[in-house]
């Protein structure tokens, strides 16, 4: 077997049969998830729970649940039995016991109430204009306002429609499974009706998409761009679900192509840093005026991680050097600290890593897998080192990959979308749901607010502005002007 084929097979085995966490096998401390792979500042929205509430114990969180009380008492035969068991006469019976008022032994348990469906009749009062006030010569009748609906004439409530949307696009439950669960609860409904609700909710969401896109692009932090396949089932074609994201939101867009022109379209009008992987389609972004490119260090690290079993010594050393760069990023808790650490400590760590690459490159043949790992960093060195002079950018594209995780799970559960229109609906709903999460707002709460505002012909706020209004603006981190990105 050739070196190239063996290297390819080894990486495929690691990809499909290995664990998801890309931890250094030789490291003593095992990091969890994406810990240590992003500077904490870039992931801070500010509308998250305080440290105290995050450390809240389980009993305290249980106390926040709605509570019912059930009382338990002895029956007369049970009291008689208690008397007999203690050697008392039959005549004593229940009279031998006196209830202690106000004293009980309490225990707490958590139970579940299955979802139920009910029919609600809305009666809208009617008023007739009195004759003495009526100058029109015609009978004038007015009707009290009807409740908020997803769209006029819909026979299902806003809460019902949002439950369907949440189950599919937040918790990845296909509509057919939802239909079967509803049928078990004695509600007969077809999948087309359920999809029409999702489509109607998405129509409301489309009004807010430009605002979400603007919030993401106007933020001080760089934007992340990535894409993943998304199948159109009706014609068995494969399109792409694109995402642009940062700490303020995730903007999804379906397109039938993987061309870099899509990234150009999504980023039209944007000036700042864009974090991407090394896919060639993104090369055209570097030619766009005002755009700066940062390549992803997780991808550079993965080149060595996937070859660790074949080259443990050199790969282990490379992982240690790269993890040192990640660890330095974790030290920064403000933009000022980012500038200081990158200008001194990180620059020195990068120099050590580059020296390691040049020192080891001549030791291996060009076809060896380890040579490909080394060359990946050297060939993309300009993009990998841009963060040393740019305070707006994290060093990985993990934000976009996390944003696409929801798409991965959805694609696994319902394979894709039946039509392109369905893919656009998915992209729209993913955008609002995931952006609401990043702004520390429950998606269903925000969606209900959005529909209510549009029903009353009012302009809804974006998830960011809604969170600012409800929770307050974060003042813990002082963000500079976007023009102050350069690290001297």
pLDDT in tens, 47-102: 444 444 444 445 666 667 788 888 999 999 999 999 999 888 888 888 999 999 98
What is the pLDDT, as a whole number, of residue 58? 53
Query: How much of the chain exceeds pLDDT 90, in percent?
Result: 76
As a whole number of Å, the end-to-end CA separation of the chain is 50
pLDDT of 32 above 50: no
Question: What does the alpha-carbon distance between residue 139 and residue 129 come to, in Å, rounded to a whole number?
Answer: 7
10 pLDDT band, cuts 50/70/90, is low
Rounding to the nearest 10 degrees, give the CA dihedral for residues 357, 359, 362, 367. -20
What is the pLDDT, as a whole number, of residue 21? 61
Domain map of the chain by residue range? 219-293+397-440, 298-395
Query: In degrees rounded to 5, what are phi and psi of residue 333?
Result: -115, 5
Q: Which residue has the higher pLDDT, 177 or 21?
A: 177
What is the pLDDT, as a whole number, of residue 156? 97
What is the pLDDT, as a whole number, of residue 44? 63
Nearest alpha carbon to residue 297 among 377, 379, 378: 377
pLDDT of 13 above 70: no
Lowest-pLDDT range, 85-99, 337-351, 437-451?
85-99
Residues 6+ apart with CB under 8 A from 98: none
Q: What single string gives the DSSP state of each residue in 150-191? A: SSTT-SS-HHHHHHHHHHHHTT---HHHHHHHHHHTT----H
pLDDT of 39 above 80: no
Cβ neighbours of 231 (radius 10 Å): 16
Which pair of tokens denotes residue 121?
């009749």
Which pair of tokens denotes residue 111?
């139970």
Measured CA to CA in angstroms, residue 137 lies from 131, 132, 134, 455 at distances of: 9, 11, 7, 33
What is the pLDDT, as a whole number, of residue 89? 85
What is the pLDDT, as a whole number, of residue 57? 47
pLDDT of 181 above 60: yes
pLDDT in tens, 97-148: 999 998 999 888 888 888 899 999 999 999 999 999 999 989 999 999 999 9
- Burial of residue 111 (CB within 10 Å: 0-12, 13-18, 19+) is exposed
pLDDT in tens, 231-247: 999 999 999 999 999 99
Which pair of tokens denotes residue 214?
């603007």
Lowest-pLDDT range, 17-31, 126-140, 172-186, 437-451?
17-31
34 pLDDT band, cuts 50/70/90, is very low
pLDDT in tens, 292-320: 999 999 999 999 999 999 999 999 999 99
Lowest-pLDDT range, 72-76, 156-160, 172-176, 378-382?
72-76
What is the pLDDT, as a whole number, of residue 110? 87
Which pair of tokens denotes residue 89?
């006469």
Angle (CA) 103-107-111 rounded to 5° is: 140
Question: What does the alpha-carbon distance between residue 52 and residue 84 come to, in Å, rounded to a whole number?
Answer: 54
Average pLDDT over residues 469-475: 86
Residue 292, classed as helix, strand or coil, is: strand
- For domain 219-293+397-440, say whether CATH 3.30.420.10 is its number: yes
pLDDT in tens, 378-407: 999 999 999 999 999 999 999 999 999 999
What is the pLDDT, as a whole number, of residue 458? 97
What is the pLDDT, as a whole number, of residue 12? 59
Name the packing angle between helices 297-305 and 369-379 (round to 10°).
170
pLDDT in tens, 404-424: 999 999 999 999 999 999 999
Question: What does the alpha-carbon distance between residue 268 and residue 266 come to, in Å, rounded to a whole number?
Answer: 6
Average predicted confidence (pLDDT) for the chain: 89
CA quadruple 277, 279, 283, 284: dihedral sign? negative
Question: What does the alpha-carbon distance between residue 223 and residue 275 come to, in Å, rounded to a whole number?
Answer: 6
Write out the H or E segment, with its range, that includes residue 226.
strand 223-232
What is the pLDDT, as a whole number, of residue 2? 56
């Amino acid at each position: 077997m050739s070196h190239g084929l063996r290297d390819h097979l080894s990486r495929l085995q690691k990809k499909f049969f290995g664990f998801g966490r890309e931890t250094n096998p030789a490291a003593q401390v095992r990091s969890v998830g994406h810990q240590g792979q992003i500077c904490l500042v870039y992931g801070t929205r500010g509308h998250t729970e305080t440290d105290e509430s995050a450390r809240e114990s389980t009993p305290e969180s249980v106390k926040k649940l709605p509570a019912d009380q059930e009382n338990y008492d002895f029956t007369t035969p049970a009291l008689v039995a208690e008397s007999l068991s203690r050697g008392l006469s039959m005549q004593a019976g229940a009279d031998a016991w006196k209830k202690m008022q106000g004293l009980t032994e309490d225990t707490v348990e958590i139970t579940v109430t299955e979802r139920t469906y009910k029919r609600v009749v809305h009666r809208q009062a009617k008023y007739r204009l009195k004759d003495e006030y009526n100058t029109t010569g015609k009978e004038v009748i007015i009707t009290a306002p009807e409740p908020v609906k997803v769209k006029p004439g819909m026979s299902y409530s806003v809460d019902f429609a949002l439950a369907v949307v949440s189950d599919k696009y937040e918790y990845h439950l296909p509509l057919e499974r939802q239909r079967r669960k509803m049928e078990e609860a004695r509600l007969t409904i077809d999948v087309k009706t359920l999809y029409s609700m999702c489509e109607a909710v998405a129509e409301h969401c489309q009004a807010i998409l430009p605002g979400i896109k603007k919030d993401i692009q106007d933020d001080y932090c760089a934007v992340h761009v990535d894409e993943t396949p998304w199948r159109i089932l009706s014609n068995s074609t494969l399109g792409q679900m694109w995402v642009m994201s940062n700490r303020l939101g995730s903007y999804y867009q379906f397109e039938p192509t993987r061309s870099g022109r899509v990234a150009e379209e999504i980023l039209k009008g944007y000036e700042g840093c864009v974090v991407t992987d090394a896919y060639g389609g993104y090369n055209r972004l570097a030619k766009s005026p005002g755009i700066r490119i940062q390549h992803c260090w997780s991808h550079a690290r993965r080149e060595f991680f996937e070859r660790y079993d074949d080259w443990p010594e050199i790969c282990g050393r490379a992982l240690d050097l790269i993890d040192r760069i990640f660890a330095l990023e974790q030290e920064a808790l403000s933009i000022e600290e980012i500038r200081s650490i990158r200008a001194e400590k990180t620059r020195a760590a990068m120099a050590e890593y580059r020296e390691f690459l040049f020192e080891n490159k001549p030791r291996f043949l060009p076809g060896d897998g380890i040579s490909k790992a080394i060359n990946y960093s050297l060939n993309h060195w300009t993009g990998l080192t841009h963060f040393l002079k740019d305070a707006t950018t994290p060093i990985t594209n993990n934000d976009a990959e996390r944003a696409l995780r929801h798409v991965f799970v959805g694609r696994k559960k319902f394979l894709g979308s039946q039509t392109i229109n369905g893919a656009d609906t998915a992209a729209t709903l993913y955008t609002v749901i995931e952006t609401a999460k990043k702004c520390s707002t429950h998606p269903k709460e925000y969606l209900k607010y959005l529909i209510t505002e549009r029903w009353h012909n009012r302009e809804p706020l974006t998830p960011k502005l809604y969170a600012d209004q409800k929770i307050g603006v974060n003042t813990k981190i002082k963000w500079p002007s976007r023009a102050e990105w350069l690290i001297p």
